[in-house]
């Protein structure tokens, strides 16, 4: 069993009958959805869910996890998702899977955001992982130039030789910052740029971070 799967199983233990649950996106969230599907099938777990990406929604339907339209779920009890980096204050970089906007919308409408990672994602300071910024296509060259002026060293994300397009029809600029000294300030500066939809800094949003360690232990970190 890999570390991501270990962390996912621990997180899914926190889901109770009757809960409304947000399903994250990416390689770690994949294992959480798999474990939720197992509980639904084998334990008769009764929940309602929404998904942060088409890929996660498709997987949930395949596993017969009840998926509802957002219009039918006003609020979520918890969301389980992964992260690309997490610092000691439980601030995050997310968006490596390209679903940062949907993930942030779902997380902000959840009573709890449970993040699952392996120990390689735990860092002292955010920034080694390139920070994703979602950008509207209109005049995107100007938005990229504004990111450059901010010192973000942005590069358009490419997939299969073509510019990556999110489920929302937007582009992703991956910003090579290396070390983010003031993550809350940078989040505000990025979102003030016209053309930026949102960015992958999740500040003061995670309630619990579950870290699977290479020695087989699980480190559960709660927001203070």
- Annotated domain spans of the chain: 3-122+203-222, 131-193
What phi and psi, each to the nearest 5 degrees, are found at residue 77? -75, -40
pLDDT in tens, the chain (224 residues): 799 999 999 999 999 999 999 999 999 999 999 999 999 999 999 999 999 999 999 999 999 999 999 999 999 999 999 999 999 999 999 999 999 999 999 999 999 999 999 999 999 999 999 999 999 999 999 999 999 999 999 999 999 999 999 999 999 999 999 999 999 999 999 999 999 999 999 999 999 999 999 998 999 999 98
Annotated ligand binding at 37? The verdict is: no
In this prediction, residue 224 carries a pLDDT of: 80
Q: For residue 190, what pLDDT is reported?
A: 98
Q: Is 95 annotated as a binding residue?
A: yes
Phi, psi of 154, deg, nearest 5: -80, 150
Query: H-helix or E-strand containing 85?
Result: strand 85-86
In angstroms, what CA-CA distances link 86 with 22, 26, 98, 217? 20, 16, 17, 18
Determine the pLDDT at residue 37: 98
Query: Is 79 annotated as a binding-site member?
Result: no
What dotted CATH number matches 3-122+203-222? 3.40.50.1360
CA-closest candidate to residue 167, choices 108, 107, 113, 103: 103
Instruction: Please state, in angstroms and rounded to a whole number, the distance separating the CA atoms of residues 50 and 36.
Output: 13
Any known ligand binding at 216?
no
End-to-end CA distance of the chain: 31
- Which CATH architecture describes the domain 131-193? 2-Layer Sandwich (3.30)
Q: Which residues are catalytic?
A: 103
Q: Is 53 labelled a binding residue?
A: no
How far apart are alpha carbons 131 and 74 in whole angstroms? 30
């Amino acid at each position: 069993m890999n570390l991501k799967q270990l962390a996912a199983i621990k997180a899914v233990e926190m889901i109770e009958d009757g809960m409304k649950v947000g399903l994250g996106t990416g390689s770690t969230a994949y294992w959480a959805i798999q474990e939720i599907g197992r509980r639904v099938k084998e334990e008769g777990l009764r929940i309602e869910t929404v998904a942060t990406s088409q890929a996660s929604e498709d997987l949930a339907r395949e596993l017969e996890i009840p998926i509802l339209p957002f219009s039918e779920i006003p609020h979520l009890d918890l969301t389980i998702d992964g992260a690309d980096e997490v610092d000691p204050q439980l601030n995050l970089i997310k968006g490596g899977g390209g679903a940062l906007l949907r993930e942030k919308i779902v997380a902000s409408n959840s009573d709890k955001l449970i993040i699952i990672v392996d120990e390689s994602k735990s860092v002292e300071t955010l920034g080694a992982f390139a920070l994703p910024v979602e950008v509207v296509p209109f005049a995107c060259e100007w938005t990229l130039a504004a990111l450059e002026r901010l010192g973000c060293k942005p590069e358009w994300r490419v997939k299969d030789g073509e510019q990556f397009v999110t489920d929302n029809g937007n582009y992703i600029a991956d910003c090579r910052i290396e070390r983010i000294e003031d993550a809350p300030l940078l989040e505000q500066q990025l979102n003030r740029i016209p053309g930026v939809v949102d960015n992958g800094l999740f500040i003061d949003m995670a309630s619990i971070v579950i870290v699977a360690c290479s020695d087989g232990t699980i480190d559960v970190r709660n927001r203070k």
